[in-house]
Structure 1
Amino acid sequence: MKSIKILAFLAVLLHFSCKSEPEVDTANRNENFEGIRITKEQFDHNEMELGTLTVQNFPDVIRVTGKIDVPPENRAIINVFEGGYVKRSPLLEGSKVKQGQLILSLENPRYVELQQEYLELAGQLDYLRSETERQEIMFGEKITSEKNFLRAQSEYKTGLARYNALRKRLQMLNIDPQKVEEGTVSSEILINAPISGTVDQVNVSRGMFVEPNYNIMEIVNTDHLHLELNVFEKDLMRIAEGQKVHFTMPQYPAKSYEAEIWLVGKTIDEDRTAGVHAHLADSLKEKFAVGMFVEAQIITKNKDLPALPEEAIVEVDNAFYVLVLDQSSGENYNFKRRQVKPAVTFNGYTALEDPEALTGKQILTRGAFNLLGN
């Protein structure tokens, strides 16, 4: 009796499991019908749907690649004109900085020598100025020769030129010449952030000697992130300011973002491409980092085309098919497969090259893969 009960239970379990997936009804393929027949129970259980061709809006797109970038004025590379040893380096990569904030200090006896030279020139300049004025008065009174006057004037102009050049050199090192003239001399120079932004690179550590023009660090201001796209020469004439751009990240292909063409480059590079800039919405700028690679579609124009949901079309042996409802009764659905030629896919819909044959037909828009893909 136990064995009979077990067999009966297995029979019931098998009966319900067979209903979980739709199957091609081979028993009903006969001389009167050649196609795929499923029961209404299978249709409902697998949440299949019927539909017809609908007109959808499809963009004419140009596919390009590029990266997230910032304008040149939003990127600053920090270096110095006179080398020195790193005394203070308080920042790490990713640190936020404000324009004018201390980001580094360097120390070198050479800085003291420059300030000393400047002080000596400043003192000499006062003497040369007064001497030139004295010689000018004496020359006007015929007490001294023109030669002596011109010599004093030349020495003053030469000293003034050296004084101004050294003054500018100190200012480039962020040393205040006025404080030097007041007697404040320091072996340390302070380097402040030229722009606000985020520290992108730090290439020094404390005690390291920094050579002149060595890239100490880089600061990037991401307030004006944009897309830098590479467009091939053959497509450039179709690009215009104001066109919409849809772009994705290769690591997150399912998530799409929007931008708008802002500038179109007019110079073709060696690889036969031109640069195209696209603006991002302000709400997107916190999501991206400079240098991220993107894949983009530039929408040049739009057109309305008859289309089906993308999942209604199934590829079988390098050909594409849909299932057209042939007839239905209260208990069964009879489908015939019809080969189609997909044209373009966008936003979940696929346009067809030959839609006329399907006009007005009931088509299985959901669940076709279960019947054709197996």
Structure 2
Amino acid sequence: MKFNIKNIFSVSTAFALCFLLLSSCDKKAETTQAEEHHDDAKNVVELTPAQVKAAQIVFGNFEKKNLSEVITTNGYTQLPPQNQADVSAFMGGIVKTIAVIDGQYVKKGQSLATFQSMEFNNLRLEKAKLTEELQQAKVNKEFLDLDFARQKELSDENVTAKKTFQKVSSELDLVNNKIKITQQQIEILEQNLLLSGNGNSTTIVITAPISGYITAVNVKIGSNVSANTSLFSIVDNSEMYVELLVYEKDLFKIKVGQNLRFVLTNQGNKEIVGKIFSIGKAFQKETKSVAVRANINNLNIGLIPGMYVNALIDIGNSDVNTLPIDAIVKAEGKEFIFIHEAEEKHEHKTGEKVHEEDTGVHFKRIEVKTGTTQLGYVQVTPLEAIPAGAKLVTKGSYYLQSSIANAEGGDEHGH
């Protein structure tokens, strides 16, 4: 029997190639499985509850916001004029006592200060003079009332000329006006001054015309004040509004009743909402902008007049899913958020007691696509499904991304 060495070599070569090919496929499959496992592992972070607390991680969910159909504008917080007051005296004098300090809350009618005025002697004499004139006018009125009735009766019987009756009627009108004006003058003195003291010195009490907070104390004990000098300033912040400037190109989009929102950095970027109640009818000074005023819904957050605000006026209803900007991290040229899924606790027995072991808190990194950013929020579209019931990390994402980067021995997290 003859063997063909050439054929034997060919068969051996074929078996060797098949073996190498199968080995290559097995290694490739193992590599693929390893890469997939690595990809899953590098997107997961495990922290202890203590680490979660220390990192100040905050959970939340998507918030629906209108980030597209809006008008961006700016302005200041304002107070209506009836919620502001400058307190002054209508005569000069020397400050005797001061009962309030800057920042103190006062009620309408509360005593703010007292001062002594020598000028009041003249006013006291004036009041006495006015009182005497009032009494005399009342006496004249009684006489003219009788004369008026008598002349009217004679005029009706044509016994005397009507000219005399008209003269008496005119005099009676003058007396009535005199009484009315004199009474008003006396009332003004009595309403604005509280008398106490003796001799030539009179103590005048200055009271608060509105309730609110003292924002300025412009005097001190011994200060010599003149008439109409501003002694105190008071503001009542309970009816504050925002005044925004809207330019000519956007005016046709603005309507009374539209909602707006803005944030203040000193309030932790807390969103403040309001509603437009007034649109100006003329341009502000030399600008091509009109003042738009809006009420503020949540006034109990420490606003004061003159705060600068950037606001968004909603002119549409296109709401999108948003998250705070701090929820987004960048790595490997992509954008991610972190989610936390509820995990089961493992139980083990020690004697007759059953203990629960906390296996740690697991966070998973999810790739997303971001859109419009406004007022600290950004539109977010997840690129993979988020399990039902999963919590989203709204604060602390940078810490989680740093944990992933450190585990891989690099620094790939973005800011």
Aligned to 2:296: 280
Residue number among 229, 235, 245 corresponding to 2:260 in the alignment: 245
Contact 2:134–2:183 under 8 Å retained in 1: no
* Residue identity in the other structure for 1:226: Y
Deviation at 1:160, TM superposition (A): 5.1
Structure 1, 247-256 or 193-202: larger mean CA deviation: 247-256
In structure 1, distance between residues paired with 2:308 and 2:335: 40
Distance 1:188 1:229 in 2: 46
1:256-271 map, 5 Å: 256-270=271-285, 271=287
Q: State the alpha-carbon separation in 1 of the partners of residues 328 and 243 from structure 2.
A: 37
Which of 168, 192, 201 is the aligned partner of 1:173? 192
1:272 to 1:215, Cα distance in 2 relative to 1, 3 A? farther
- Number of aligned residue pairs: 295
1:187 is matched with: 202
Residue 5 of structure 1 corresponds to none
Taking the aligned partners of 1:160 and 1:323, their CA distance within structure 2 comes to 84
- The answer for the alignment partner of 2:42 in structure 1 is 42
Q: Counterparts of 1:162-241 in structure 2 under 5 Å?
A: 163-164=182-183, 166-171=185-190, 173-174=192-193, 187-241=202-256
Amino acid at match of 2:192: L
The correspondence of residues 72-87 of structure 1 with structure 2, limited to 5 A, is 72-87=81-96
> What is the Cα-based RMSD across aligned positions, in Å?
4.9
CA–CA distance in structure 2, aligned partners of residues 312 and 124 of structure 1: 82
Residue type of the alignment partner of 2:256: E
**Distance change (3 Å), C-alpha of 1:267 and 1:126:** same
Q: 1:111 aligns with which of 93, 109, 120?
A: 120
Distance 1:78 1:269, change over 3 A: same
Q: Secondary structure of 1:119's match?
A: helix
Query: 1:121, 1:159 within 8 Å by CA — same for their partners in 2?
Result: no
The 8 Å contact of residues 94 and 200 in structure 1, kept in 2 or not, is answered as yes
Q: Shift of the alpha carbon at 1:231? A: 2.4
Give the 3 Å change call, closer, same or farther, for CA 274–237 of structure 1 in structure 2: same
Structure with bigger gyration radius: 2
**Equivalence for 1:329:** none
Post-superposition shift, 1:199? 1.2
Deviations 1:107-135 (A, max 9, x none): 11111221122213423553465468669
> Cα deviation per residue 1:122-172 (whole Å; 9 max; x = unaligned)?
2355346546866996x9799xxx9xx99xx69978975884464255146
- Whole-Å separation in 1 of the counterparts to 2:237 and 2:270: 21
Specify every segment of 5 or more residues in structure 2 that has no aligned partner in the other structure, as ranges: 1-36, 48-61, 155-159, 337-366, 387-396, 406-410
Q: Deviations over 1:301-322 (max 9, x none)?
A: 1326699996778599xxxx64
Name the SS of the counterpart of 1:265 in structure 2: strand
Normalized against structure 2, the TM-score is what? Answer: 0.55
Contact 1:80–1:213, Cα closer than 8 Å, also in 2: yes
Q: d(CA) in 1 for partners of 2:211 and 2:87?
A: 13
CA distance in 2, matches of 1:80, 1:96: 21
Q: Distance in 1 between matches of 2:142 and 2:45?
A: 108
Distance 2:138 2:324 in 1: 89
CA contact (8 A) 2:117 2:201 kept: no
**Matches of residues 123-142 of structure 1 in structure 2 within 5 Å?**
123-127=132-136, 130=139
Query: Structure 2 CA distance, aligned partners of 1:223 and 1:55?
Result: 29
Unpaired runs of 5+ residues, structure 1, are: 1-36, 48-53, 325-336, 353-357
- Write the distance in 2 (CA, Å) between the matches of 1:114 and 1:272: 52
> What is the DSSP-based 3-state SS (H/G/I as helix, E as strand, rest coil) of the residue aligned with 1:118?
helix
Measured after TM superposition, the shift of residue 234 of structure 1 is 2.4
